[in-house]
């Protein structure tokens, strides 16, 4: 029996994208324990993942914190890991490789570096769409990648019937008008206008809801939509996934919830400016689409509303 370690730290969108790869790794190593190294915000979520045996927390403290680093490496070594799938592919995880499996190749440590295509630099490889990179990495390691390109996040969903009853949710559209404070270029500025257009057309037939994160609670009060909270706190990831899954449509900036929506394959659209492309982040699915423009401030609410109406009908 071989113990397998997968590394995936975050963010939320990355977690949703990686779940197909995690499933393929698990199915390739049936009968073997599969452990995941991740960060605290995703510990409870991944404990529910049916393709994992257990979850290990990495606090990601400074690499100069030698006491922490020694403690983490000692903990990992106790699991007697025989193979690592590095789905984070960061400088930090490359550093872990040097400690745990120095000079190893893809047969022991599968990463974008150890499976890099011939005549291509990692910088060039990293320009490819994220799911294509996972697909290449795993195929090069001998994994059958039937799920990697079509991640299914439905395992993360939970029962939210009490919340739906509390907020009288039947037919509803979820909007995600927020984005990271350090990435304001991702924020589309016309959600208020879009809400008015939806309300004018659908009257009271469809509710509009917003599910803010812990740092978005105050901003959510300024939006003319039902603010869905659990005992005045932000929903956890499983609750959020179910809220998205049960909606009739999602409109989002390029954020973690947009990637959850994509990999639940719900009806919806994500809005992209010049910060990246929908193709590179592998967000478009059969039902979830993207609008790509050079300048989000020039994307009108009317155009987004037209796309929404066409996709709902």
Q: In this predicted model, what pLDDT tens digit does every residue of 180-239 receive, in sequence order? A: 777 788 999 999 999 999 999 998 799 999 999 999 999 999 999 999 999 999 999 999
**Domain extent at residue 119:** 3-152
Instruction: Kindly report which listed range (66-70, 87-91, 151-155, 183-187) carries the lowest average pLDDT score.
Output: 183-187
Residue 172 and residue 38 share a domain = no
Query: What confidence tier does 24 reach under pLDDT thresholds 50, 70, 90?
Result: very high
Query: How many distinct structural domains can be found in the chain?
Result: 2
Question: Regarding predicted confidence, which is higher, 181 or 47?
Answer: 47
Model pTM?
A: 0.94
Residue 165 and residue 147 share a domain = no
Domain stops at, among 152, 173, 202: 152
Residue 213 and residue 297 share a domain = yes
Residue 140 and residue 237 share a domain = no
- Cα torsion at 120, 124, 126, 132 (round to 10°)? -60
Whether pLDDT at 293 is above 90: yes
């Amino acid at each position: 029996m071989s113990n397998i370690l997968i590394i995936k730290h975050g963010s939320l969108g990355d977690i949703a994208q990686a779940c197909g790869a995690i499933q393929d790794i698990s199915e390739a190593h049936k009968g073997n324990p599969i452990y995941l190294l991740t960060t605290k915000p995703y510990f409870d979520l991944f404990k529910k993942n049916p393709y994992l045996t257990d979850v290990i927390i990495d606090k990601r403290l400074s690499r100069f914190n030698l006491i922490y680093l020694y403690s983490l490496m000692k903990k990992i070594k106790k699991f007697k890991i025989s193979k690592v799938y590095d789905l984070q592919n960061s400088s930090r995880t490359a550093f872990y490789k040097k400690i745990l499996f120095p000079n190893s190749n893809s047969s022991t440590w599968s990463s974008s570096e150890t499976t890099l295509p011939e005549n291509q630099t990692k910088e060039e490889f990293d320009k490819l769409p994220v799911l294509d990179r996972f697909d290449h990495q795993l195929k090069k390691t001998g994994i059958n990648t039937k799920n990697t390109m079509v991640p299914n996040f439905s395992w993360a969903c939970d029962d939210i019937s009490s919340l739906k009853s509390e907020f009288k949710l039947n037919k509803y559209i979820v909007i995600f008008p927020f984005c990271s404070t350090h990435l304001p270029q991702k924020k589309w500025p016309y959600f208020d206008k879009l809400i008015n257009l939806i309300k004018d057309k659908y009257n009271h037939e469809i509710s509009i809801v917003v599910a803010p994160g812990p740092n978005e609670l105050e901003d959510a009060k300024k939006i003319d939509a039902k603010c869905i909270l659990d005992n005045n706190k932000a929903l956890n990831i499983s609750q959020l996934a179910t809220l998205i899954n049960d909606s009739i449509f999602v409109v989002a900036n390029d954020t973690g919830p947009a990637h959850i929506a994509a990999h639940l394959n719900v009806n919806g659209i994500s809005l992209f400016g010049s910060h990246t492309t929908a193709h590179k982040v592998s967000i478009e699915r059969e039902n979830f689409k993207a609008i790509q423009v050079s300048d989000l401030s020039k994307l009108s609410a009317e155009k987004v509303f037209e796309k929404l109406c066409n996709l709902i009908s």
